[in-house]
Amino acid sequence: MSEISFRRAEESDLPAIVALLADDLLGQQREQPGLPLASAYKDAFAAIEADPNQLLVVMTEGSRIVGTLQLSFIPGLSRRGAWRGQIESVRIATDRRRSELGRRMFEWAIAECRARGCSLVQLTTDRNRPDAHRFYERLGFTASHLGYKLAIQGGDPHALASAAVSPQAESPQRHKDTQG
């Protein structure tokens, strides 16, 4: 086997990353890995790259991308102003699962969070991924919170990416509410 390394993702990595995200039962329902990639993926990548508190990572084995995850570094007032590392969009290539690559990727991600001054690392996982739950528990994570999500219909993913790239952009509703 070739040497494993980690690096910041590049736009040219997007097809491989999206293919990894789509490479399971849940991902198949959510992602569109075909070429050409949907422009929303490139817009999201640009927003991630523009935000210093976001890090999209690929794990490579030789020249092949075999894993990916996204780290978000979140400042907060709770826990006396603690920073949190949020790990999301974790995937390992199907043929490389159960080979300790997931553990190595998490060890790298946790070390990166520690280097950025985070005092807590957290993640969410779909309740329909029992193998992932067992994996996270073996790494020392505890299921200490219950999470909720709300799908917002009719949202424009391009508008969200534009707002993330331009933090000065003000919400029209917020502007209206502050006028009086």
Tens digit of each residue's pLDDT (9 = 90 or more) over 139-150: 999 989 888 889
Hey, where are the domains in the chain? 4-177
Report how far apart, in Å, the C-alpha atoms of 103 and of each of 96, 100, 138, 144, 178 are: 12, 5, 9, 21, 48
pLDDT band at 178 (very low <50, low <70, confident <90, very high): very low
pLDDT band at 2 (very low <50, low <70, confident <90, very high): confident
Quick one: which of 112, 89, 92 has its CA closest to 102?
92
pLDDT tens digit sequence for 53-75 = 999 999 999 999 999 999 999 99
Task: Compute the mean pLDDT over every residue in the chain, rounded to the nearest whole number.
Answer: 86
CATH number of 4-177: 3.40.630.30
Quick one: which of 2, 4, 1 has its CA closest to 101?
4
Q: Greater confidence, 139 or 155? A: 139
Average of pLDDT values for 19-34?
85
